[in-house]
Structure 1
Amino acid sequence: MSFNNDNHSNEESAEFVIGRHPALETLKNNQNINKVFIQDQLKADALFDIASIAKKRGIIVNKVPKGKLDLLADNQNHQGVVVAVAAYKYETLDGLLTNVENENKTPFFLILDGIEDPHNLGSIMRTADAAGVQGIIIPKRRAVQLTSTVAKTSTGAIEHVPVVRVTNLVQTVKLLKKQGVWIFGTDMEGTDFRKWNAQGAVALVIGNEGKGISPLLKKECDEMLTIPMIGHVQSLNASVAASLLIYQGFTSRGN
């Protein structure tokens, strides 16, 4: 959704969303937008729609040169639009549990143990939104946070999937277990993920791209799941593995 950029001043020190689809999702769902910057003399229906929605909401729309957008977006592919927003607010664990309870839903959470690649986090968020995951829990340290790359890769999903940051994943898992949530981890050895029945309150733990799930967190898992592979490459990208597991959970929950 948004990201800190400490390299510039004034507008450049704000938080930004870049790209057309993320910008549209932000305009539709975020109430804390400061300004919209659109590339001058660039004509596209998507940019017209963005400007139209912004003006209807009373949000300032600035037409600026491409160089200005390049600066705001740190030379990432902004597609002619940058949206300046207030800082992203992470959800609390209590808030997440309360929201799920108020919506009369059965918890289906993701716990990401040290995901470092922002593209992986963005892709995981996109799949999580598509499959009805109600929240993602990440650690505050030694893991990617919500950045511009995450926002763009998620293609707007960052606006819809609550993210909780916690100091200690092990303690968080223990709290979830006390709330009746079953914890499923991922490993090279475990139950074939195709046999996973994710009905009931569950949380799926996805480990670090290289190291997997930390030993202490693995001990707290109720069951380990594995993705069988018969090819020469015996590993999958973290976001690909997460997608397979999330959709198995989605399917087994009767969706």
Structure 2
Amino acid sequence: MLRSLRRYSIKAPFPTNTTGKGPAAFDKNMPSNVPLKAWERDGESKDHWFKRKHAHHHALQKERGKNDRRDFRKKKDEKPKDLKKLLHTLKPSPLVDYIYGTNSVLAALQSNKREFGSLNIHIPVTVSSTQLSTMGKYKEIKNLAKSMGIEIKEASKQDLNQLTNNGVHNGVVLESRKLDVPVIRKLGEEFTQEMFTYVNSANDYQSVYVDNKSVKGKKRFPLALYLDELTDPHNVGAIMRTAYFMGVDMIFLSERNCAPLGPVVDKVSAGAMEFMEIGYVNKPLDFVSKSSENGWAVFATDMPGTLNKKTSDVESFTIDDVKNTLNEKPTLLLIGSEGEGLRKTLIQRSDGTVGIYGGRKGMVDSLNVSVATGMILGLLLN
């Protein structure tokens, strides 16, 4: 059966156009006039024709690509340089103090203890009521700077933020040298109610003339503070502000482990740092001992009634006791650090401790060092 089927050709079951004998062809269904390709018409090979026809386009495209890459590399190389240059101009110099805030800048100009660079000022077009209240100080600062020959520059808010590490600058930043603070060896044996002396690191005696204050209508002897290892610049600045306001005659700071006398302290002190007599102490134990030998009364500030190893073997005095002493001789108050307080070795070299009592017992059993110092000074000098 299979062999018989192979003898006959397979035909379609429906009528078709191929009725003739022989193999069917597709030529009659294809267009007879086929258009020639461009390279066929020109008698050239396809590759040769494309190279001749579009070679200049390829050259232009290649050159354009080179230029684009060259421009990209140029921009890539130039951008970091511009950025570094910009950051270099805005980056604060470690050799310069950038005093900021209207009170601090005005105090620095008025005290004139430093060498100044330029005064950078930014006053926005729209200012708040708080800023308007200080516009008089802006004018005073500008006039004083002009009279001192200080260059005045207009700056953006971002520039001032960069110079002050985002401090509250009130739109004014003054470039200056760092404050020149002498290193003190001891307080001198020469003193009156109007003056006292100290010995610096070069063994030179320096005199300080004080502004006389009254305690219960009587003139008193000089009062100085020694700040031992206070690391928070806000506390140091707050103590300086209170001390200057209350009439303290000089402040000494431990040269090591104490907050630097920079723009932050200046700002918090509201400019008091510029007017205050200040000295560094690099040997606190010798400073306290030798000052005591030269006739100065030394009291360590502490909370009375706290029986601890530091103060249990040291006599405790009241504020009235210190007042009476201040009417007889110059007095040095020792202020301890925020966390640990005064070192035991310093307390043992003092004449005794003095402090304030709390009015309530509970979880809050102490005060911030700047607040406690302010209260002691208020009770002592009012």
Counting only pairs closer than 5 Å after superposition, residues 196-235 of structure 1 correspond to structure 2 as 196-197=322-323, 198-199=326-327, 200-231=329-360, 232=362, 233-235=364-366
Please say if 1:175 is aligned against 2:296: no
1:195 positional shift: 4.5
Equivalent residue, structure 2, for 1:112:
227
1:196 positional shift: 2.9
Please say if 1:27 is aligned against 2:156: no
Q: Which range moves more in the overlay, 171-180 or 195-204?
A: 195-204
Cα distance between partner residues in 2 of 1:56 and 1:11? 28
In structure 1, the residue corresponding to 2:303 is in which secondary structure?
strand
Number of aligned residues? 245
Cα distance between partner residues in 2 of 1:151 and 1:103? 22
Letter in 2 for 1:136: I
Provide the aligned C-alpha RMSD in A.
Answer: 2.4
Letter in 1 for 2:251: I
Equivalent residue, structure 2, for 1:56:
147
| Conservation of the 8 A alpha-carbon contact between 1:90 and 1:162 | no
Equivalent residue, structure 1, for 2:207:
99
In structure 2, the residue corresponding to 1:211 is in which secondary structure?
coil
Counting only pairs closer than 5 Å after superposition, residues 50-89 of structure 1 correspond to structure 2 as 50-89=141-180
Q: Which range moves more in the overlay, 35-44 or 231-240?
A: 35-44
| Conservation of the 8 A alpha-carbon contact between 2:90 and 2:163 | no
Letter in 2 for 1:214: R
Q: Which range moves more in the overlay, 136-145 or 72-81?
A: 136-145
In structure 1, the residue corresponding to 2:92 is in which secondary structure?
helix
Cα distance between partner residues in 2 of 1:102 and 1:129? 12
Please say if 1:193 is aligned against 2:307: no
Letter in 1 for 2:374: S
Counting only pairs closer than 5 Å after superposition, residues 28-47 of structure 1 correspond to structure 2 as 28-31=110-113, 32-41=115-124, 44-47=135-138
Q: Which range moves more in the overlay, 9-18 or 169-178?
A: 9-18
Percent identical across equivalent pairs? 29
1:68 positional shift: 0.8
Distance verdict in 2 for CA 1:55–1:128, change over 3 Å = same
Q: Which range moves more in the overlay, 27-36 or 55-64?
A: 27-36
Structure with the greater alpha carbon radius of gyration: 2
In structure 2, the residue corresponding to 1:61 is in which secondary structure?
strand
Cα distance between partner residues in 1 of 2:207 and 2:265? 24
TM-score (norm 2): 0.60
Counting only pairs closer than 5 Å after superposition, residues 124-143 of structure 1 correspond to structure 2 as 124-143=239-258
Equivalent residue, structure 2, for 1:4:
none
1:45 positional shift: 3.0
In structure 2, the residue corresponding to 1:196 is in which secondary structure?
helix
Distance verdict in 2 for CA 1:101–1:76, change over 3 Å = closer
Distance verdict in 2 for CA 1:76–1:153, change over 3 Å = same
Task: Considering Cα pairs closer than 8 Å and 6+ residues apart, tell me whether 1 or 2 has the greater RCO.
Answer: 1
Query: Runs of 5+ in structure 1 lacking a partner?
Result: 1-6
TM-score (norm 1): 0.87
1:219 positional shift: 0.3
| Conservation of the 8 A alpha-carbon contact between 1:108 and 1:203 | yes
Cα distance between partner residues in 2 of 1:41 and 1:246? 40
Equivalent residue, structure 1, for 2:83:
none
Cα distance between partner residues in 1 of 2:330 and 2:122? 46
Distance verdict in 2 for CA 1:80–1:103, change over 3 Å = closer
Letter in 2 for 1:24: L
Distance verdict in 2 for CA 1:106–1:192, change over 3 Å = closer
